[in-house]
Amino acid sequence: MLIDSHAHLDSPDFQEDLEAVLARAHESGVASILTIGCVQESIGSLTTFMENLDSHGHLYGAVGVHPHDARFYSQALEALIIDVIGHPKILGWGEIGLDFHYDNSPREQQIEAFRNQLRCARDVAKPVIIHCRNAEQLTCQILEEEFAGGPGGVLHCFTGDLDMAERCIELGFYISFGGILTFPKATDIRESALQIPAQRLLIETDSPYLAPVPFRGKRNEPAYLARVADILAQVCGMTHEEVADTTSENFTRLFGQP
């Protein structure tokens, strides 16, 4: 069975048919999903959202302030995250990090929010989920300064180079691949995946974003995780079952469940 280590099930894109989406995920072999609440509106309500879906089995969550929203970071919002993250179904802090591609928040505020959240996550001993775009060197530097010796985490939707992966693996991080791995021009990413130790691999969909080939351009959903697993298996010379077993064991090692 597969574990989707990163999805956004509370997205408005799933508002009309979430029950059907979860049913398709189960039918495709997805046993667990980590859903990420990383905007102000979802941080306080994510636990209720997951509890309302208990009948679907192993759904877990993570909360944090996305770099796009770093301009809204405050002590009050930080306190809310610390309160929510004590819930037994909240397994991680994130997604957090730096996005110097869109720059939806000023870079100085992104850096400050990133550092503050890393310190808080370390204090509460929660793994972190890292978003990084066009800021690889600075992301590694901040992680090395703020999170060395911490509980580790995951570089989600990895598009960095092998140097970044190796630096973060040294800090106890895992590397997660999503739909981009299947894109025809993503040769460099597939080459990086081949070099990463199997015991550090995770897979994800980042639903509803970045659907894998042949669904590219459509709404992504957890059922498509099987396609990511298939491509990772081809790249690494593994079977689909080996990818499923290995990435599920890695997820459990990092987050402690399921």
Would you tell me how many other CB atoms lie within 10 Å of the CB of residue 42? 18
Per-residue pLDDT reduced to its tens digit, 111-129: 999 999 999 999 999 999 9
Nearest to 91 by CA among 45, 40, 125, 57: 125
Q: What is the pLDDT of residue 39?
A: 78
**CB-based contact 131:67 (threshold 8 Å):** yes
The pLDDT, as a whole number, for residue 55 is 78
- The per-residue pLDDT for 157 is 98
Alpha-carbon gap, residue 151 to 140, rounded angstroms: 16
What tokens were used for 190? 């597939």
Number of domains in the chain: 1
Q: Report the pLDDT value the prediction gives residue 54, as an integer from 0 to 100.
A: 78
Q: Supply the pLDDT for residue 59.
A: 94
Query: In whole angstroms, what is the distance from residue 147 CA to residue 242 CA?
Result: 31
CATH code of the domain covering residue 31: 3.20.20.140
Which segments of the chain have a pLDDT < 50? none
Domain containing 92 equals: 2-255
Burial class (CB in 10 A: 0-12, 13-18, 19+), 135: buried
Give pLDDT tens digits for 10-53. 999 999 999 999 999 999 999 999 999 987 778 989 999 988 88
pLDDT at 33: 97
Q: Maximum Cα–Cα distance for the chain, whole Å?
A: 48
The pLDDT value given to residue 152: 97
Predicted TM-score (pTM) above 0.95: yes
